[in-house]
Amino acid sequence: MSISLEEIQKISLLARLHVSAEEAGQYAVDLPGILAWVQQMNKVDTQGIEPMAHPMDASQRLREDTVTETDQRSRFQSVAPSTEKGLYLVPKVIE
């Protein structure tokens, strides 16, 4: 199997990773290699087998809808790269 450079660029966009031309070339070699190896999964017929998401097939535990956490905004924002008046700052989105 092969993966085109366009596909590599599309995946990198979905993954929010900047990929240089040189890296894209490397991925075009690495990824098909790994994916071809992964495809040995196809040698077993899994039709009708329920996919297993949790090792003990446990489902999500629910709790009462009550407030358990207090507001700790300033604490959490103390590790943010850039904040102002309690808001996270990012480059301008709308001109």
Q: What is the DSSP string of 55-90?
A: TT-PPPPP----------HHHHHTTSSSEETTEE--
Residue 14 in contact with other proteins, rule: CB under 8 A: yes
Q: Is 2 among the residues that bind other proteins (CB under 8 A)?
A: no
Judged by CB under 8 A, the chain residues 28 through 57 that form the site for other proteins are 30-31, 33-35, 37-44, 46, 49-56
Min dist CB 22 to other proteins, Å, is: 12
How far apart are alpha carbons 41 and 34 in whole angstroms? 12
Q: Is 31 helix (H, G, I), strand (E, B) or coil?
A: helix
Judged by the rule CB under 8 A, the positions of this chain that interact with other proteins are 3, 8, 11-12, 14-19, 27, 30-31, 33-35, 37-44, 46, 49-56, 58, 60-61, 63, 72, 75-76, 78-82, 88, 90-93
